[in-house]
């Protein structure tokens, strides 16, 4: 399986890496920031390591070579099919 051009490769992170929130790998199954939205995997850090530094947005590098700011809720909802695979 190839990587889709919409898949994020890197982004603003509080850790060495961002764990893909793909439900079969690192599912978003707990709410660690208290806003009633499941935002983190129970065995990962908040937002699976992503760090919303820019007005609640995260700058990501995508497989097509582009970079853009993605609002936190769009990342959590996989808007644009950005999680691998």
Using one digit for the tens of pLDDT, what is the confidence trace for 8-26?
Answer: 999 999 999 999 999 999 9
Residue 85 domain flag: no
Residue 30 domain flag: yes
Six token digits for residue 23: 């439900």
pLDDT band per the 50, 70, 90 thresholds, residue 2: confident
Residue 72 domain flag: yes
Residue 51 domain flag: yes
List CB contacts of 37: < 8 A, sequence separation 6 or more.
Answer: 31, 73, 76
Task: Give the domain range for residue 11.
Answer: 1-80
Closest CA to 37 of 46, 45, 50, 49: 46
Q: Is the pTM of this model over 0.85?
A: yes
For the chain, the domain total comes to 1
Contact (Cβ atoms closer than 8 angstroms) between residue 35 and residue 24? no
Residue 66 domain flag: yes
pLDDT band per the 50, 70, 90 thresholds, residue 1: low
Using one digit for the tens of pLDDT, what is the confidence trace for 47-77?
Answer: 999 999 999 999 999 999 999 999 999 999 9
What is the spatial distance between Cα 21 and Cα 34, in angstroms, rounded to a whole number?
18
**DSSP assignment letter at 21:** -
Residue 49 domain flag: yes
Residue 68 domain flag: yes
Residue 74 domain flag: yes
């Amino acid at each position: 399986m190839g990587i889709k051009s919409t898949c994020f490769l890197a982004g603003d992170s509080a850790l060495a890496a961002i764990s893909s929130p793909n439900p079969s790998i690192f599912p978003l199954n707990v709410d660690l920031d208290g806003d009633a939205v499941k935002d983190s995997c129970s065995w990962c850090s908040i937002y699976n390591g992503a760090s919303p530094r820019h007005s609640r947005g995260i700058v990501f590098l995508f497989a097509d070579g582009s970079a853009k700011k993605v609002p936190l809720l769009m990342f959590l909802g996989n808007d644009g099919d950005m999680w691998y695979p």
